[in-house]
Amino acid sequence: MADVIPFLLFACTCAILLAGYPVALSLAGTALLFAAVGTYTGHFDSAYLQALPNRLFGIMGNTTLIAVPLFVMMGVMLEKSRLSEDLLESMADLLGGLRNGLGISVILVGALLAASTGIVGATVVTMGLMSLPTLLKHGYSPSQASGMICATGTLGQIIPPSIALVLLGDTLSSAYQQAQLNMGVFSPKTVSVGDLFVGAVVPGLILVCLYCLYLILFVKPQRPPKITQEAFNTRLRRAFTNLLPPIFLIFSVLGSILAGAATPTEAAGVGAFGAMLLALLKGQLSWQNLRTVMQSTTHITSMVFLILIGAAVFSLVFRGFGGEELVADFFQDMPGGLFGATLLVMVVIFALGFILDFIEITFVVVPIVAPILLAMGLDPIWLGVMIAINLQTSFLTPPFGFALFYLRGVAPETIQTADMYRGVLPFIGLQLLLMLMLAVFPAIATWLPSVVYR
């Protein structure tokens, strides 16, 4: 009976989340209820909960997590400064003369917005409101247009600086140290958020290239409008004027991390300040906008940290019931060894992505499975990148993908849900192709960190 309790705790938590209760309160409340019953029946040692104050103090003193509100502020500030509209217009000016130039522009702008905001919902909604009518007007089918927007919106999971990568990197750092301590290594190696950022650069660029290649090869070309040389020169000047500041900001943030000149937290501060400066130069930094940005940043950051506290309670109770040992024994006895265990974890995370957000999966599921997989020999950077792409694919897959729900909320009624489902299928295939490439050639994720931090 005692062996079933950890899995029952996990199942009840998922059921309560599906019922619509707040995530943080569901995690902590369910765990404490199980702990109370377990203490009464003698299946749980309440001494485990005495570690909770130290856990919470550790969260408060974690300097890496300071990057969360700073990156959130950077993304919200750029969103409020109408950056996305200027980017799309400028990119369309540059690529408008090419076949499928508008579609490629949407992909590239979506990638830039993903690198700027790092939030899937914000990118999908912004691109849906801004580019969906334009794509339909220029002859793209509803399925093609909606598929492009949903796919580019999910790039915020994998292209740094991503909030998902910040949280995932911090969780994997703790899991990697725990795995080494469990193996008897008392001088453990470390892995940082910066390592995961660098590891995600090449896979993110490959995915953007695959998207563009798909448009060039398989989407019916749209006839580009003919323009005069003078009009083209005017568009070119306007494009470079609008594109250079945000691109400079993004490369300043990533470049400082890649060069080792700044930690992700310090780079996040540079990004937040640069976003404010860019909004000021564009005349969008009013007191009202600043107040809106600060309120949105506070709301998102509070949600993240409250979920993190709830997840800390859940993980303590799960460990107190012996859940960690049960999962480790289950993986060790699986047929296929490390490959079978990794495949099972990826399938479970993919399925959970239908019902849980990346924050819950990062704080609840990853701390349970990552130490075991890392102790079995997986590279932490490779594992982090694979989890990020896996969640990205899950958020795009019908019928429960979050990106589809976000776009459905802003898309006109003329676009049917079935059109959206058809449109995302090719991009899901491309993401699965990238995961297969990573499985066969792990160096796609691990090579650049080994060069940068050599």
Which three-class secondary structure string do you get for the chain? CHHHHHHHHHHHHHHHHHCCCCHHHHHHHHHHHHHHHHHHHCCCCHHHHHHHHHHHHHHHCCHHHHHHHHHHHHHHHHHHCCHHHHHHHHHHHHHCCCCCHHHHHHHHHHHHHHHHHCCHHHHHHHHHHHHHHHHHHCCCCHHHHHHHHHHHHHHHHCCCCCHHHHHHHHHHHHHHHHHHHHCCCCCCCCCCHHHHHHHHHHHHHHHHHHHHHHHHHHCCCCCCCCCCHHHHHHHHHHHHHHHHHHHHHHHHHHHHHHCCCCCHHHHHHHHHHHHHHHHHHCCCCCHHHHHHHHHHHHHHHHHHHHHHHHHHHHHHHHHHCCHHHHHHHHHHCCCCHHHHHHHHHHHHHHHHCCCCCHHHHHHHHHHHHHHHHHHCCCCHHHHHHHHHHHHHHHHHCCCCCHHHHHHHHHCCCCCCHHHHHHHHHHHHHHHHHHHHHHHHCCHHHHHHHHHHCC
* CA-wise closest residue to 119 among 392, 355, 308, 360: 392
Residue 286: per-residue pLDDT: 83
- Indicate the pTM of the whole model: 0.83
Which parts of the chain sit beneath pLDDT 70? 1-2, 84-85, 96-98, 115-122, 186, 221-233, 235, 239, 453-454
Residue 221: per-residue pLDDT: 59
Question: 130: which 2 tokens?
Answer: 């801004």
Residue 252's Cβ-side half-sphere holds a number of Cα atoms within 13 Å equal to 17
The dihedral built from the CA positions of residue 439, 440, 445 and 451, taken in this order, carries a sign that is positive
Residue 327: per-residue pLDDT: 80
C-alpha to C-alpha distance for 370 and 178, rounded to whole angstroms: 10
- Give the tens place of pLDDT for each residue, 34-90: 989 888 888 888 888 888 888 788 777 777 778 888 888 887 887 777 776 677 777
In the numeric block, the tokens 């909960």 are attached to 49
C-alpha to C-alpha distance for 316 and 367, rounded to whole angstroms: 11
Domain map of the chain by residue range?
Answer: 64-313+323-452
Residue 432: per-residue pLDDT: 93
Residue 63: per-residue pLDDT: 78
Residue 9: per-residue pLDDT: 86
Residue 225: per-residue pLDDT: 58
| Residue 333: count of CB within 10 angstroms of its CB | 8
| Residue 10: count of CB within 10 angstroms of its CB | 18
Question: 276: which 2 tokens?
Answer: 């404010």
